[in-house]
Structure 1
Amino acid sequence: MSLTVTPATGMPQRLPAAGTTPRSLVVGLDLSLTSTGIAGNGWTANVRTKTRGDARLRILQIAIADYIKQADLVVMEGPSYGHAHLAGHEDLAGLRVLVRQYCYRHHIPYAVMPPSSLKVYATGNGRASKDGVRAAITDRYGYLTEGAARYDEADAYAAMAAGYDWLGQPLKSVPESHRRALDGCAWPEFLTGGAL
């Protein structure tokens, strides 16, 4: 079994408990079987594993749960249907369902943000490149993602920032041409999660 969890420099060792910070705790996720990006306000992390099958899903679920268990809102990038032919698409869909069900069982509201909406929110362009999203995150929020998971972490940061904006607590001013992306997301009806 192989697992690498890499918190970014400056990330708190312990995440703040929900409701004890001036803002809500929003966590963004860019789910991947090989390099999941995770972001909160001012920090990013990633979970990388080389395992396969059910063991990989379990490792990812446990690691991701550690980051989202205190969240007031989780915003995850949704599937890219244009890449549905890729190997592992069933496991990736399974990972998304596992994360959604974790949120539901633990009463954590979650949203799903289509990849094109994430790109529009970050850059104003639904066809922006990974470099474009990363540069936009650095320019707007002053946060530079680095290393092998830099694009995954930048996507997660964009999802997290969109979540704060949707809550009415934007991290920075975002042009209306970018904010229109919020309309294309599946936001929770209530800011309380499901039932056991």
Structure 2
Amino acid sequence: MSPLPAAGTTRPLVIGLDLSLTSTGIAGVDWADAIKPRQKGHMRLSWIRCEIADRIRLADLVVVEGPSYKHGHEAGAHERAGLWWLVTHDLWRRDLPYAVCPPAQRAMYATGKGNAGKGEVRDGVRTWFGVECDGAARYDMADAVSMAALGAHWLGYPVADLPDTHTRALNGVQWPEVIPAVAA
């Protein structure tokens, strides 16, 4: 799917989510933060969902990183999958449009390479979008910024003039069936 027409003057609120049990990256196109739970089990999942819900309630579009199937054998994979379904179900229940972005598309949009490492994505986010992501959650936050910028681009509000090597990432994302009214 190609991006929508050129943008008007008011940028929609697009939020990127890099879901994690220990440090969920949450970002817009010009800011980044991390949600770091202290709890375990059900309390952790509930707390992360509530923190996300508080921060996305005014979003025009949320872009959530899709599952990384190559990590399915690792400890916590089952609980991570539960978090993903809990959050996306909450988005659906609230009627908030959301896209599912495969990890390779998130990396490609920031770097031009679908197999780029976390550090490369962080560098791409700094270079292309001007957002500094530092500290322990730097990679989670950078991933979230990349997805927020990708969503803004799809809506017709690109944050940067990226080359085709980057924008081809738009084609691999599962975009919402109903286009948000804020699209240009």
Tell me the TM-score normalized by structure 2: 0.90
C-alpha deviation, 1:77, in angstroms: 0.9
CA distance in 2, matches of 1:156, 1:143: 11
Q: Percent identity?
A: 49
C-alpha deviation, 1:41, in angstroms: 2.5
Partner of 2:103: 115
Q: Is the aligned partner of 1:41 residue 2:14?
A: no
Helix, strand or coil at the partner of 2:149: helix
C-alpha deviation, 1:105, in angstroms: 1.2
Q: Is the aligned partner of 1:166 residue 2:154?
A: yes
C-alpha deviation, 1:53, in angstroms: 0.8
Q: Is the aligned partner of 1:73 residue 2:61?
A: yes
Deviations 1:143-195 (A, max 9, x none): 11111101000000000000001111101111111111111111001035xxx
**What pairs with 1:1-196 in structure 2 (closer than 5 Å)?**
22-191=10-179
C-alpha deviation, 1:129, in angstroms: 1.0
What one-letter code is carried by the residue in structure 1 that aligns with 2:14? V
Helix, strand or coil at the partner of 2:165: helix
Number of equivalences? 172
Q: Structure 2 regions of 5+ residues with no counterpart? A: 1-8
Structure 1 stretches of at least 4 aligned residues deviating more than 4 Å after TM superposition: none
Kept in 1, the 8 Å contact 2:101–2:174? The answer is yes
Tell me the TM-score normalized by structure 1: 0.85
Structure scoring higher RCO (CA < 8 A, sep ≥ 6) equals 2
C-alpha deviation, 1:100, in angstroms: 1.0
Kept in 1, the 8 Å contact 2:98–2:176? The answer is yes
CA RMSD of aligned residues (A): 1.2
What one-letter code is carried by the residue in structure 2 that aligns with 1:175? P
Partner of 1:12: none
C-alpha deviation, 1:36, in angstroms: 0.1
CA distance in 2, matches of 1:177, 1:84: 29
Kept in 1, the 8 Å contact 2:26–2:32? The answer is yes
Helix, strand or coil at the partner of 1:38: strand
CA distance in 1, matches of 2:59, 2:39: 27
Helix, strand or coil at the partner of 1:95: helix
CA distance in 2, matches of 1:69, 1:86: 32
